[in-house]
């Protein structure tokens, strides 16, 4: 397969907000993209009590999943698809600093650095009132 044109690159990047939410796990969560710009993404998880510990506060695994998804989306948002299309999270460190009580969860992700294969992102999760719920640093890898 030859190199993708810039038009094909843009089309591939722009497909991410449609493709990611349709994957089996993420479709179960019900995430939505509120913003998808190069290296700057906001993913929202509408509140559902079945994703909580007690009908009020999100389970930490749910929060981590949305943080990871937002970081991955930021990595793909400005990716050169000629450099590869197989990807995974290499590492992610999460600090839980609050809770989202009966609130949508908004995860804002920014790409900090792009290397040959590794993309470094920072993600902050907030509730609907803007209170910080968690912060994450992620290393994402995309290879041929």
Q: pLDDT of 60-74, one tens digit each? A: 999 999 999 999 999
Q: pLDDT of 22-50, one tens digit each? A: 999 999 999 999 999 999 999 999 999 99
> What residue ranges in 49-115 does DSSP mark as E strands?
86-96, 105-114
Question: What is 6-143's CATH topology?
Answer: Thiol Ester Dehydrase; Chain A (3.10.129)
Nearest residue to 35 (alpha-carbon basis) of 17, 10, 12: 17
Distances 45 to 8, 75, 95 between C-alpha atoms, Å: 29, 19, 19
* Domain ranges within the chain, ordered by starting residue: 6-143
Average pLDDT, the chain: 96
pTM comes to: 0.95
**Contact predicate 17/33, CB 8 Å:** yes
> What is the band of 2 on the pLDDT scale with cuts at 50, 70, 90?
confident
């Amino acid at each position: 397969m030859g190199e993708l044109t810039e038009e094909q690159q843009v089309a591939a990047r722009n497909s991410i907000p449609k493709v990611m939410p349709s994957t089996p796990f993420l479709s179960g969560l019900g995430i939505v993209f509120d913003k998808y710009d190069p290296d700057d993404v906001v993913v929202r998880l509408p509140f559902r009590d079945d994703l909580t510990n007690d009908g009020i506060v999100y389970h930490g695994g749910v929060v981590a999943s949305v943080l990871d998804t937002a970081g991955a989306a930021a990595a793909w948002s400005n990716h050169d698809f000629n450099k590869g299309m197989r990807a995974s999270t290499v590492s992610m460190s999460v600090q839980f600093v609050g809770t989202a009580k009966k609130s949508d969860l908004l995860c804002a992700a920014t790409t900090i650095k792009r290397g040959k294969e590794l993309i470094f992102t920072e993600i902050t999760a907030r509730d609907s009132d803007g209170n910080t719920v968690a912060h994450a640093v992620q290393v994402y890898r995309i290879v041929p």
